Each structure stands twice: as C-alpha cells, then as structure tokens.
Structure 1
Amino acid sequence: MARPSLREKIIESGVRTLHERGFAGAGVREITGDAGVPQGCFTNHFRSKKAFAVTILDRYHELTQAIMDETLRDESRPAAERLHAYFDAITEWLEMAGWRYGCLVGNMSLEVPEHSELLRTHLIEICGALTSSFAEAIRAGQKAGEIRSDLDADDMAAFILASWEGAMMRMKVDRSPRPIEQFRRVLFATVVSP
C-alpha cells in the first residue's frame, strides 16, 4: 500500500488540530508538528492558513456527509428514525471526545467570520448543505405523516441546525451530555412530532 502524501498527512492531522485548538490557536508550526511533517511542507501544499482551513472544512464536511448518508438519507427508515440515528451517531462521537470539541463547523462559525470573508462564505455554503440534508428528511417525514406539517421544512431544518450547534457549544462549556440530551428531548417532543 502506498504511503499517504505529506499533503494528505497535513489534512488528516489538520482536521483534529483545528477541531481541538481552533483556527487562531493552531499555528502552522502546531499543524505541521501534529502531522509529523517539516514546517516547509505546509507552504508547498497550501497558499495560506485560510486556504488550508477551507480544505479542512471540506474534509470535515465529507465526514459529516458520510454520517448523513448512513442516517438522514437512509430511505429504508422512517424519517423521524433517521433523525434519531443521525443524532445518535454524532452523540456517540461527542462522547468519545469527552464532550470537549463539538462541531468544527460550529466552532469555526463562532471564531472566523469577522476575520475572513473566504472562510465566512465557505461556512455559509456548508451550513446550507447541512440544512438541506435536514430539510430533505423533514419533508419525507411530513409526507408520511411522521413529522408535523404545520411548519415549513426549511425553517425547521434551519432551527434544528442552529439549536444543535448551540447545544454542542453549551456541551463543550459544561463538558457534559446534558445540553445534548435536553436538545433531543425538546426536538422530538415538539418540533419533530406528528
């Protein structure tokens, strides 16, 4: 099997580094050190730290989309069950991380919009894609009578994403699953109910 390229090593490690330390807290030295590559490799593969962050967000989004493919987009399940499965999968990952890191998209959304138009615009695109994925599942549930239909699916999806990100932010502060559990109880008792 071929060895991963240095660029790929930087990206793989960079997802973890930016997730754990944040954009401002992870300099090129930390990024390359965590990847185990010479510092000069960074500029060979990335125009800037902001361009690197776009690549990292894309990789993280690919990972999220893979989870969504297995859960939210699994048409063999009822829509409400798909939503439960998605939040179960993410909650499992959050627990393994000790309730410390939340969502990289949410973390960067809090950190970078005032400092980088490039990253702000990219985050808008990613949040739009995430919202669309929730909206698809909600529409399917509304059509099947499993999810309340008196609310617009796009509005519900935007609300779910914003509330989920907020719950993860609070989870990080508390280092506790309690905000996630509260989010899920309220979501499934009110918003996602027939």
Structure 2
Amino acid sequence: MARGQGALDNNTYVRIIARMPKPSLKDAILDAGLKVMFRTGYHGTSVRDVTAAAGAPQGSFTNHFRSKEAFAYEVLDRYFDVTRGLVAEALEDNSLTPRARLRRYLDIITGRLQADGYGRGCLIGDLSLEAAGSSELLRTRLAEIFAEWRLPFAACIAEAQTRGEVAADFASEELADFLLASWQGAILRMKVDRNPSALERFKTIAFQTVFKEPT
C-alpha cells in the first residue's frame, strides 16, 4: 500500500506507541507489598523488597506512592477491603442467628489463618503494634478502621441482645470492641505458638461467658 493511503512509516508508528499509556504496575506493587509486609513487617520492608517481589523497577514505586508511609496506607486499605467482605459473608448471613453469625466470622478467620500455617496474622493488628507509634498517618487510619470495623459487629450483637441470645449487661458497642480487641490478642498468641490453641480457647471462653445465651 502506498504511503499516505493507510500505511504507517516507522517514525509515525514509534510516535503513536510513545503516546500510548503504559500499563500501571500499581496493583502488582500493592499485592506484592502486602505479602512482603506480612513477612517482614512495616519497618522491615524496603522499597527494593517490594519492587523485587512485584517484578517492577524501583522507579515505578515513586511513580505511584509519595512515600513508604503512603504506600502502607494503601496496602492497609486494600487489606481492609478484603476484611469487609469476610465480615459481610458472616454477619449478613440471615440463615444464621445473630449469635451464630458472630461465631461464624471467627471460624472463617480461623480457616484463613490455618491456610497460612498459623504464621501470618492480621495486618490491621500488626500495623497497630508496629506503626501506630511512629506514623500519625497510619495511626489515624487504623483508628478509623477500628471504628468502622466494630459497627457491623455492634449491630449484630444488638440484634442478638434483642432476641435474648446475648445478655444486655453491656452496650453492644462495648462488646464489639471487646470482641475485636480480644480476638487480635488471640491472633498474636497464635503467631507465637504456630497453632490454633489461642483462637479456639478464646472462642470457647467468649461464647461460654460474655456471649453465652442467658438462662
């Protein structure tokens, strides 16, 4: 085909390719960062570690994140999105009673922790311990996450109290905070022991005391 009738010369082709947007590596970097941060912690994770795990050049990190702190913020949000889904899976299951939904959530998390060999815990809890004291940005976001996280639990507990499944000695919001905070402690102990004993012990005691059915 003659030039000017639909054919592209090499220079035109190169200019078109140069103007085309390059595929974003942001998702790959965030996915890799989550895995690396679980393994080495916030302070132990370097940009080099993350980009190497993502198979991305180091320059691509700074193209998407202004700092390691901002990167951890987005990793945390990505993780919390998954957590929201797990909460909904359990607490929105209307085939179960409210009290059974609470137990179902803990069992779902136990199964996921088992799949990881009880060596990986909860990133929200990990960052609360490691980064909340050194990053005001992350501390503030973690506080927001805990405030949001407790809402569906408080609603489920309030429903259980209304149905007479759980005693109403304490406000549902307080019981939701207790459940989440104590569960985080059990997960930390699980990581040390590398077995589910702490998780099962918490579930047994919690549902035979605080969340027991009133007699």
User: Given the two structures, how large is their TM-score scaled by the length of structure 1?
Assistant: 0.95
Within the candidate set 199, 203, 207, 1:180 is matched to 199
Matched, 1:12 2:18: no
Q: CA deviation at 1:74?
A: 2.3
Counterpart in 2 of 1:86?
Answer: 105
Instruction: Report the Cα distance in structure 1 between the residues aligned to 2:158 and 2:24, rounded to whole angstroms.
Output: 42
Cα deviation 1:107-152 (Å, max 9, x = unaligned): 0000011211000000001111112221111011111111111211
Gaps of 5+ in 2: 1-22
Counterpart in 1 of 2:50?
Answer: 31
Counterpart in 1 of 2:73?
Answer: 54
Q: CA deviation at 1:17?
A: 1.5
Q: CA deviation at 1:5?
A: 3.2
Give the letter aligned to residue 132 of structure 2: P
Matched, 1:151 2:170: yes
> After TM superposition, which residue ranges in structure 1, 4 or more long, deviate above 3 angstroms?
none
Instruction: Report the Cα distance in structure 2 between the residues aligned to 1:126 and 1:105, rounded to whole angstroms.
Output: 8
Cα deviation 1:160-192 (Å, max 9, x = unaligned): 111000000011111111100111001111111
Instruction: Report the Cα distance in structure 1 between the residues aligned to 2:36 and 2:101, rounded to whole angstroms.
Output: 30
1:35-184, aligned counterparts within 5 Å? 35-184=54-203
Counterpart in 1 of 2:209?
Answer: 190
Instruction: Report the Cα distance in structure 2 between the residues aligned to 1:119 and 1:49, rounded to whole angstroms.
Output: 11
Instruction: Report the Cα distance in structure 2 between the residues aligned to 1:189 and 1:36, rounded to whole angstroms.
Output: 49
Instruction: Report the Cα distance in structure 2 between the residues aligned to 1:19 and 1:105, rounded to whole angstroms.
Output: 11
Structure number with larger C-alpha Rg: 2
Within the candidate set 1, 18, 21, 2:40 is matched to 21
Q: CA deviation at 1:28?
A: 0.4
User: Given the two structures, how large is their TM-score scaled by the length of structure 2?
Assistant: 0.86
Instruction: Report the Cα distance in structure 1 between the residues aligned to 2:155 and 2:56, rounded to whole angstroms.
Output: 41
* Percent identity between the two aligned chains: 45
- What is the total number of aligned residue pairs between the two structures? 191
